[in-house]
Structure 1
Amino acid sequence: MLQLRDLPSKAVLDKFSARYPEADVSAVSSFLHLLRVASDLSLALDACLSQHGLLQGRWWVLILLMREENGISLPSVLAEKAGVSRATMTGLIDGLERDGLVERIFDRDDRRRVSIRLTAAGQEKLDQVMPDYYTRLRQCMAAVNEEERVLLGGILGKLNAGISAFDVPGSMRTGT
C-alpha cells in the first residue's frame, strides 16, 4: 500500500481548493492526517507482531477464535468477522494449521462441513503476544486521557458512518 509520507501544507491544499471548489481544506487535511496515522499504526502493529512470528491477518484469526466460548468457529463466520473473502480466510487458516496454531474439525456426518479450533499452541502464542501488545497499546494511548478517548470513539463512529460516500456500485464493500 502506498503511504503519503509528506502531508500537504495548508498552502498546497488552498491551491487545490482553488482548482477544485468541492475541496474542503480542513476536511481534506484531517482526512489525510487520519489516513497517515492509521497507516503508521498498522505498520507499528505489524512490526510488533512480526517479533512474535505473526502477521495481522493470522493474529486476528487467533483473536477471533479466542473470543469464542469454546475456541471454535466456522471459516465463513471468521471470514465475515475479519472482513475478508472466504478464499483469503482459507489461506490464513492453512498457514495457522501448518504451524499447529489451529486445527480443522470435520463434521462426522458431512466431511464437507468443517470448523476451526484454536489449539493449545495457538493459545500459548496469544499468551506470548498479548502482554506485549497491550503494553505497547497502553504506551501508544498514554497521552490520550479517558475523556479524549470517548470523544475519539465518537468521532471515529461518525467517520465510519460517512465511509459510504466512497462506495461504488458493484464494489466488494457495497456488495451490489
Structure 2
Amino acid sequence: MLQLRDLPTPEILQKFVQRYPEADVTAISSFLMLLRVATDLSLALDACLSKHGLLQGRWWVLILLMREDNLTSTPSVLAEKLGVSRATMTGLLDGLEQGGLVKRVFSQADRRSVQVQLSAVGQSKLDTVMPDYYARVRLCMQQLPQQQHAELQKILGVIVQGMPAWDAQAGSLTIKQEL
C-alpha cells in the first residue's frame, strides 16, 4: 500500500487550482488527510494483528464467523461480507484451516456444499487478540470527546454516500453532462 507521507499545503494545492480550476482545495485537503489517516490506521492494525500471528483478511473472517449465532457461515457469504472474490476467500480459509482456526464442514447430502465454522482454537485466538485490539482503539480515539464520536460517524457516513463518484460510469456521466 502506498502512503503519501508529505501532504500538500494549501499553497501547493493553489498551484494545482491554477492549472485545474475545478479543483477544490478544501475538499482535496480533507480527502488526502482522510486517506492518510485510513492508511495509517490500516497499517497500525496490520502491526497489531501480526503480533498475534494474523493478517487483516484472516482476522476479519474470524470476526465474521464469531458474529454468527452458530459460529458458521458459507464461503460465498463470507466473501460477499468481506468484499473479496471467492478465490481470495478460498485462500484465506485455507490458511485459517491450516492453523486450526476454522474448520470446513461438508454436507452429508452434498459434498460440494460446505460450511465454515470457527473452531475452539480460532475463538481462543480472538479471545487473545480482541482485548489488545479494543485497548488500542480506545487509546487511539481517547482524545476525541464522546459527543464527537457520533459527529465523526455522521460525517464519515456522508462521505460514504459520495463514494459513487469513484464509479467509472459516474465519472463519464459527469463529463457527458458537462458537454
TM-score tier after normalising by the smaller chain length? over 0.9
| Deviation for aligned residue 1:147 | 1.1
Q: Which has the higher helix share?
A: 2
Please list, as runs of the form range in 1=range in 2, the aligned pairs for 1:102-141 lying within 5 A after superposition. Answer: 102-141=102-141
In the alignment, which residue of structure 2 is the partner of 1:4? Answer: 4
Alignment: residue pair count = 169
In the alignment, which residue of structure 1 is the partner of 2:90? Answer: 90
SS of 1:22's equivalent in the other structure is: coil
Paired with 1:11 and 1:85, the residues of 2 have a C-alpha distance of 42
Q: Cα RMSD over matched residues? A: 0.6
Letter in 2 for 1:61: V
| Deviation for aligned residue 1:146 | 1.6
| Deviation for aligned residue 1:2 | 1.2
Structure 1 unaligned spans of 5+: 170-176
Paired with 2:89 and 2:168, the residues of 1 have a C-alpha distance of 24
| Deviation for aligned residue 1:168 | 1.4
Q: Does 1:59 align with 2:59?
A: yes
TM-score in terms of structure 1 length = 0.95
| Deviation for aligned residue 1:118 | 0.2
Runs of 4+ with deviation above 3 angstroms? none
In the alignment, which residue of structure 2 is the partner of 1:22? Answer: 22
In the alignment, which residue of structure 2 is the partner of 1:174? Answer: none
Paired with 1:137 and 1:147, the residues of 2 have a C-alpha distance of 17
Q: Does 1:155 align with 2:147?
A: no
Paired with 1:26 and 1:128, the residues of 2 have a C-alpha distance of 42
| Deviation for aligned residue 1:49 | 0.4
SS of 2:168's equivalent in the other structure is: coil
Paired with 1:163 and 1:22, the residues of 2 have a C-alpha distance of 19
Structure 2 unaligned spans of 5+: 170-179
Paired with 1:145 and 1:55, the residues of 2 have a C-alpha distance of 31
Letter in 1 for 2:98: R
Paired with 1:5 and 1:13, the residues of 2 have a C-alpha distance of 16
Same amino acid, percent of matched pairs: 66
| Deviation for aligned residue 1:115 | 0.3
In the alignment, which residue of structure 2 is the partner of 1:80? Answer: 80
Worse-matched range after superposition: 141-150 or 119-128: 141-150
